Amino acid sequence: MPKSLSLGNGTMLVCTDMRAQVRDFYFPYVGLENHVGGHYTHRIGVFVDYQLNWFDHSNWAIDINYANESMIGETTAVNKALGVALHFLDTVYNEKNIFLRRVTVSNDTDRARIVKLFFGHEFEIYESHRGDTAYYDPRNHVVIHYNGRRVFLINGISDKGGFDDYTTGIFKIEGKEGSFVDAGDGVLAKNLIEHGPTDSMLGFYLDLAPHEEKTIYYWVAVATSIEGALGLNEYTLIKTPEHLVRTTRDYWHAWVQKNNFNFYGLSEREVTLFRKSLFMVRSHADDHGAIIASADSDMLQKGRDTYSYVWPRDGAFSAAALDMTGDQNVAERFFNFCNDIITKDGYLMHKYRPDGSLGSSWHPWMRGGKIQLPVQEDETALVVHALWNHYVQSKDIEFIERIYNTLIKEPADFMVEYRDAKTHLPRASYDLWEEKFGVHTFTAASVYGALHAAAKFAKLLGKEKSEHTYMTAAAEIREAILTHLYDETQGTFIKMINVDDAGTMSYDKTLDMSSVYGIFAFGVLDIDDERLTRAIGQVESRLLCKTNVSGVARYEGDPYFQITSNVPGNPWIITTLWLAQYYIARAKKEADFEQAKKWLTWATEHASPSGMFPEQLHPYTGEQLSAMPLTWSHAEFITTIVRYLDKLEELGICLKCNPLYSEN
């Protein structure tokens, strides 16, 4: 089930589904150790007039969104059959690891009633059922789930005091469905302790007059010890849950408003989604530097693994987007993360876990009986390229000096050396999409851009020999791209070539949006170059989905989540926004932005009701497919908006549209 909210503080990340139920609960890293796992559920239910409806019941009409300009979830759940309505404010406290829900319950009938509100918890601590315990603590009137150094304390208050009912139990074992069954009669069994695959329930019993409403607060405090969790519980009670909700709202409001952008010519929906995208990227950023691709654990149900990893590619795009909006802190932590994980030979591997350890991969170390690095060279290049943009925004020369050797010089030296001696192109590696092995236009273009960035760093620090080396290699790569990777006959750029031991080239001429994007994004050709214009024409002719949904596919015949062969591939948010970025770069006057605005509007219309972007869309229905939210999709939306504002400044159409605008 797609996610509706993503709430985090850099250490803990909580995601809810489209029924407002918690489905992902990450701690102590964003994206690592999902203690609910996506396949279990923290249920919410209401019992009244001898009826119990869990939130997955069709009687509930549920609307979920983010509060205005803050990382606070707002949910309204109306059940006309039961005559009740609930309004939630959900947040992860920005200062400490506490997930809070403020719930206002309304009796929408003309008679007094007792409305019982139940919260269920199915934990899989450490992503394993082994060794879990759930118990009721009568000294503090809380329920605690724990396993070793992972502790989840659950509590709440109403106008009467603490919660009214509780039980612990086991689920999915020994014929037990779970403690939610116990709530069927409106009374919980008050079972004191269980171990194994444990769950629990809390109940709040509200006496409501006709059309009266009352508010309860519910929270989960997370720590590495029981004492620590009890301390967070005491902190919540002393400070009050309302104070925590309010200060978190104020913090994120200040964070997203710290730069006074003038969103000239953009709709209110686009501006709102821009800010939500900032929250989405920020919630997927760990305080230790990792920026994960997606917290959506539902991918595990459809494949071999989740997206809860750090791809240096996705992270570089996300860090660059935050840099463009003035948040250098997250970006700097990401570059420190890369500095820690990069190999001694100067390249980054396929993907990593948020703790910096190597992630799962499908790229082998041998091909055709020969040793071959299992890398996407673009990932190394993208980090170096993004680092220059970080410096342009931050001007933090001390940071650059500290990481120069390991995250600039060594990667640049690797990129200079890791080339074919005859063509001067980068040697074969895996492509941007992690599928094909060869020499790719996008990879070559990104390496060109990275070596230009490395040369500028070298010049900045007075390292003239390195500057010359990098500029020379970049010039050779550019010439090689235009010689070997441009197809004059078709008027586009070749997806991939392979060169055998005899020097014979084989060509994959599949039209790929990334090939065209790389040419203008990294400055291989001027934006007005006829070759680029022709290539974009091919994209619009062959990669646009000719359906009511529209949008740009990654490449012709894309099989990933393929729905039908009648379209070139499913439309992606990322590739469609790349087309918008092209038109922004080409604009000479205000009327020239219409094509870019068209695709910005398209993206806005295909976000979820709460403002989340998926990876891709069903080409006929527009249904969100694959991971949602996808951090990279949100990063591209942010980037597209900022580039639009920058271009307005450059053309003198809107002075001070972007207070961070820099011509460097």
389: three-class secondary structure by DSSP: helix
User: Are 583 and 522 a contacting pair, CB within 8 Å?
Assistant: no
Decide if pLDDT at 302 tops 60: no
Decide if pLDDT at 300 tops 60: no
In sequence order, the 6+-apart residues with CB closer than 8 A to the CB of 225 are 149, 151
For the chain, the domains span 44-255
| Dihedral sign (CA 236, 241, 243, 249) | positive
Instruction: State mean pLDDT over 578-593.
Output: 97
Alpha-carbon distance 407 to 387, whole Å? Answer: 9
User: Are 307 and 292 a contacting pair, CB within 8 Å?
Assistant: yes
> Which backbone phi and psi does 318 adopt, to 5 degrees?
-70, -45
| Dihedral sign (CA 73, 37, 333, 426) | negative
User: Is the peptide bond prior to 28 cis by the omega test (within 30 degrees of 0)?
Assistant: yes
Q: How confident is the model at residue 301 (pLDDT cuts 50, 70, 90)?
A: very low
User: Are 193 and 136 a contacting pair, CB within 8 Å?
Assistant: yes
Q: How confident is the model at residue 432 (pLDDT cuts 50, 70, 90)?
A: very high
Decide if pLDDT at 195 tops 70: yes
Q: How confident is the model at residue 2 (pLDDT cuts 50, 70, 90)?
A: confident
Q: How confident is the model at residue 48 (pLDDT cuts 50, 70, 90)?
A: very high
**What is the tens place of the pLDDT at every residue in 137-185?**
999 999 999 999 999 999 999 999 999 999 999 988 887 888 999 999 9
**What is the tens place of the pLDDT at every residue in 254-288?**
999 988 889 999 999 999 999 999 999 999 999 99
Q: What is the pLDDT of residue 266?
A: 96
Alpha-carbon distance 442 to 435, whole Å? Answer: 13
Q: pTM of the entire structure? A: 0.96
Task: Find residue 432's DSSP bridge partners.
Answer: none
Q: What is the pLDDT of residue 303?
A: 55
435: three-class secondary structure by DSSP: coil
Max Cα-Cα span within the chain: 87
Nearest Cα residue to 266 out of 663, 4, 647, 520: 647
Q: What is the pLDDT of residue 530?
A: 97
Instruction: State mean pLDDT over 606-633.
Output: 95
What DSSP state is assigned to residue 360?
A: P
Q: What is the pLDDT of residue 354?
A: 97
**What is the tens place of the pLDDT at every residue in 341-378?**
999 999 999 999 999 999 999 999 999 899 999 999 99
Instruction: State mean pLDDT over 218-244.
Output: 98
Q: How confident is the model at residue 394 (pLDDT cuts 50, 70, 90)?
A: very high
Q: What is the pLDDT of residue 657?
A: 84
Pick the CATH number of 44-255 from 2.60.40.10, 3.40.50.720, 2.70.98.10, 3.90.1170.50: 2.70.98.10
Nearest Cα residue to 546 out of 603, 475, 620: 620
Decide if pLDDT at 475 tops 80: yes
Q: What is the pLDDT of residue 13?
A: 98
Instruction: State mean pLDDT over 459-481.
Output: 98
